[in-house]
Amino acid sequence: MAVYCVGDVQGCDAPLGRLLAEIDFSPSRDTLFVLGDLVNRGPASAQVLRRLTALGPAAQCVLGNHDLHLLAVAAGAGRLKPLDTLDELLQAPDREAMLDWLRQQPLAIWQHDVLMVHAGVLPSWTVEHTLALAAEVEAVLRGPDLSDFLHHMYGNTPAAWRDDLTGTDRLRVVVNALTRLRFCSAEGVMEFASKEGADSAPAGHMPWFDVPGRQTAHVTVAFGHWSTLGKLQRQDVWALDTGCVWGGCLSALRLSNTGTPEIIQVRCEQAQRPG
């Protein structure tokens, strides 16, 4: 049995198929953890979702910001952007089945001693707190108040976590941290304007995983989202968005109980401009 973490697919179904062939993936034997942004910007979002759903429990996915964007657009709570490539999926005859499957996916997974999220974890959150907060959002995504939540999901405030947050503000902070975070201050104040690499942190901020005293520093956090960061493999963090949709690679990290995890990559022919 082999276990893999895979970075942002973003609608690039052909590279995903090549990657699964390269690792000789078998759903009866292996497990694939996909770190969010399954859809959008690439040419085949519907095919990606169909491929992953066909793998059944062998494919476990966390939601990314593009996945939530798809749910918002489908619910009339968001608008398509110029670089979006979601029209085919939104017009597909099996659209509702794909959207329903997507809304059942978690925002955080703890498996094999790895915390898996799409973007990041606020420095004050432990693994247990992260999973509990993710579960609050997941309950709303799967429940009758989905449309109302999606209409209020967007926004950059509050910019920091407080235990006394309630309602939409509480859920928005959790979503922003788990699906959008790159930089924050030592106090956990999030910054969303900067999208370049780790050395381009705005004044008073740093990559979320470099905040001193981070409560998840004793475990490994696997994430995607940050294509300009590139592949980062440390004991405490694995960054696996290697820019497939921008003409880079689609990366899988094979977990190992006996040594350093193995990285497997396939090139992607997609070449859009990041935005």
The C-alpha torsion from 109 through 161 and 220 to 131, rounded to 10°, is: -20
Q: Which residue is associated with the tokens 């990606």?
A: 48
3 state SS of 259: coil
Q: Which residue is associated with the tokens 């707190």?
A: 129
CB 61, CB 52: distance < 8 Å = yes
Over range 222-241, report the average pLDDT: 93
Sign of CA dihedral 21, 23, 28, 34: negative
The predicted structure's pLDDT at residue 271: 53
How much is the CA Rg of the chain, to the nearest whole Å?
17
Cα 47 from chain centre: 18
- Tokens describing residue 76: 């009339």
pLDDT for 216 beyond 60: yes
**pLDDT tens-digit profile of 165-179?**
999 999 999 999 999
Over range 133-147, report the average pLDDT: 97
Q: Which of 83-92, 148-157, 191-200, 264-273 has the lowest mean pLDDT?
A: 264-273
The predicted structure's pLDDT at residue 256: 76
pLDDT for 258 beyond 70: no
**pLDDT above 90 coverage of the chain, percent:** 93
Sign of CA dihedral 261, 233, 160, 82: negative
Higher pLDDT, 158 or 271: 158
Over range 119-148, report the average pLDDT: 98
**pLDDT tens-digit profile of 79-102?**
999 999 999 999 999 999 999 999
**What is the residue extent of each domain of the chain?**
3-267
pTM score, whole prediction: 0.96
- Residue 273's pLDDT band, with cuts at 50, 70 and 90, is very low
Percentages helix, strand, coil for the chain (3-state, rounded to 5) are 35, 15, 50
pLDDT for 270 beyond 90: no
Q: Which residue is associated with the tokens 């491929």?
A: 51
Report the relative pairing of strands 3-6 and 31-34 from DSSP bridges.
parallel
Over range 46-61, report the average pLDDT: 98
pLDDT for 272 beyond 80: no
pLDDT for 11 beyond 60: yes
The predicted structure's pLDDT at residue 86: 98
The predicted structure's pLDDT at residue 274: 44
**pLDDT tens-digit profile of 16-38?**
999 999 999 999 999 999 999 99
**pLDDT above 70 coverage of the chain, percent:** 97
Nearest residue to 236 (alpha-carbon basis) of 207, 267, 272? 207
Please tell me the distance from the alpha carbon of residue 135 to that of residue 115, in angstroms, as a whole number: 14
Please tell me the distance from the alpha carbon of residue 147 to that of residue 155, in angstroms, as a whole number: 16
pLDDT for 218 beyond 80: yes
Alpha carbons within 13 A on the beta-carbon side of 87: 5
Fold of 3-267: Purple Acid Phosphatase; chain A, domain 2 (3.60.21)
Report the relative pairing of strands 183-184 and 190-191 from DSSP bridges.
antiparallel
- Residue 260's pLDDT band, with cuts at 50, 70 and 90, is confident
CA distances from 196 to 228, 236, 257 (A): 5, 21, 33
Please tell me the distance from the alpha carbon of residue 222 to that of residue 70, in angstroms, as a whole number: 23
Please tell me the distance from the alpha carbon of residue 212 to that of residue 17, in angstroms, as a whole number: 39
| Residue ranges of E strands in the chain | 3-6, 31-34, 59-61, 109-111, 114-116, 183-184, 190-191, 206-207, 220-223, 232-233, 237-239, 249-254, 262-267
What's the mean per-residue pLDDT of the chain? Answer: 95
Report the relative pairing of strands 262-267 and 220-223 from DSSP bridges.
unpaired
